[in-house]
Amino acid sequence: MNVSKANTATRDGQAESSSDAGQHNGLEMGPEAALSDTAAAETGYSTGIDGPGDSGGHSRDVWVGFDLGGTKMYAVVFDENLKPLAKARKKTKGFEGMEQGLKRVHGVIQEALDEAGVVPSQIAGIGIGCPGPLNFDKGLMLEAPNLGWKNVPIRKSLETAFGCPTIIMNDVDAGVYGEWCFGAGRGSRCLVGIFPGTGVGGGCVYHGQILQGANHSCMEIGHIPLISDSLPDGCGNVGTLEAICSRLAIAAGAAQAAYRGQAPWLQKKVGTDLSKIRSGVLKEAVENGDEVVKNLILEAANYLGLGIVTMVHLLSPEMVVIGGGLAEAFPKLLVKNAEDYAKGRVMPAFAGSFKVALAKLGDESGVTGAAAWAKRVVESKHGINPLF
C-alpha cells in the first residue's frame, strides 16, 4: 500500500503501536464477530482480505478505528501493523439527532481517509467504539443516554457507506482493549477499566477476551447505585457512580459553586457555563486556589474508589486502569486517591491483589482498541490468527 501522507497534527502524541498487533491468543468468538454472508454480499466485501476482489485492484490492508464520544468523535486510519496514518475529529453534537450524527461519523472517517491518501476499497475493516449498551446481533446502539440517540443502526450504516466489515463495541471496551494490547494493562490476565467523562463507562478484558453479555455489551459500571439519592444520571437513575463522579457531575457542582461565589477563579474564567467547564478548566481552577473544586474532585475520588471496590470483589483484577480527560487532569487527586480509598475498603485478602494506574494511551486508547479488535475479529473470520 502506498500512503501519500500521515497527519498527526491533530494530537500532540501518537498511540503506541507494535508490529505484533493482534497477535494475542486465547480469545473467544463473540457475537459481534458474526459477519453475515448477506452483509458481505451487500457491501461487496471480498472474502480475500489481501486480494483485490471488488476492491478496485487495491489490497485491503487498512484498518479504521473510531471513537464515538459524548463530546467528540475521532477517527484514525491505521496500516496493517496498526501504525497510525492519519486522524480526524469533530464535535459530536448529539443534540442534532441520530441522522445528522451518522452523517458526521461518515464525514470524519472520510476526512481521515482523504488525509491518509486512502480510498474506501482499501479498508479491511472498521472498529467503532460506541457509548451505551449495544445489540451485537443486530449491530445496533440500543441507547446512548448522553447523546439522546436510540436504536441506531451503526453497523449497517458504516458497512453500506464504506463497503467493509464493521465491528461495533462499547466505547470503554475499546479503550480497555487498547490499554490491554498496548498500554497500561498490557498482557494482564484480568484488566478492568473505568473511564469517567460525560458519563462513567467501564470495561473488562479477561484472558484476552472482552467481557460481554450474551447479546449485549455489559460492564455499565457508571450505573451501579451507590447512594439512595442524587441528581439523575444520563439514564434518569439517581445515586449512581455516573451521577456522582462523572466529569459532568463535577462540572455541575463547580458551576453551582461559581454561582455562589465559592469558586472565584472559575467564575472569572468561564462563569457557570457547563459546556466550558471541561477537565482542563477544572484543573486550572484547583491550581488557582478554588478549594471547593478541589473538594469536589476528592469526593469524586472516594466514590470512584467504591466503584473499584465493587469491581475487585466481583472480578479480582490485577490491574484497574482509569482513563479519560478527567483522570489525565488529576492523576494524583483523582486516580491515586481513588486507589488508596479502594484499598482501604476492600476485603483484607484483596488489598494487595490489584493496582490502579492511569491509562497510558490517552485519547488514542479507544481508536486503537477498536481497530485492534476489528482486525482480530475480521482476520479470524478469514482463517487468519483464529480466535479460540
CA neighbours within 13 Å on the CB side: how many for 43? Answer: 27
Cell output for 61? 490492508
What's the distance, Cα to Cα, between the start and end of the chain in Å?
Answer: 30
Cell output for 300? 469524586
Give the chain's domains with CATH numbers. Answer: 31-181+364-381 (3.30.420.40), 184-358 (3.30.420.40)
Cell output for 166? 464493521
Chain mean pLDDT for the chain: 84
Q: Are strands 209-210 and 200-206 parallel, antiparallel or unpaired?
A: antiparallel
Cell output for 338? 481513588
- Summarised one tens digit per residue, pLDDT across range 266-308 is 999 999 999 899 999 999 999 999 999 999 999 999 999 999 9
- Predicted local confidence at residue 359, as pLDDT: 96
Residue matched to cell numbers 441506531: 152
Query: Amino acid letter at 307?
Result: G
Measuring CA to CA, how many Å separate 182 from each of 57, 204, 257, 372? Answer: 32, 15, 40, 10
C-alpha span between 155 and 159 (Å, rounded): 6
CB atoms within 10 A of CB 99: 11
Q: What band does 383 get if pLDDT is binned at 50, 70 and 90?
A: low
- Summarised one tens digit per residue, pLDDT across range 230-262 is 777 777 778 899 999 999 999 999 999 999 999
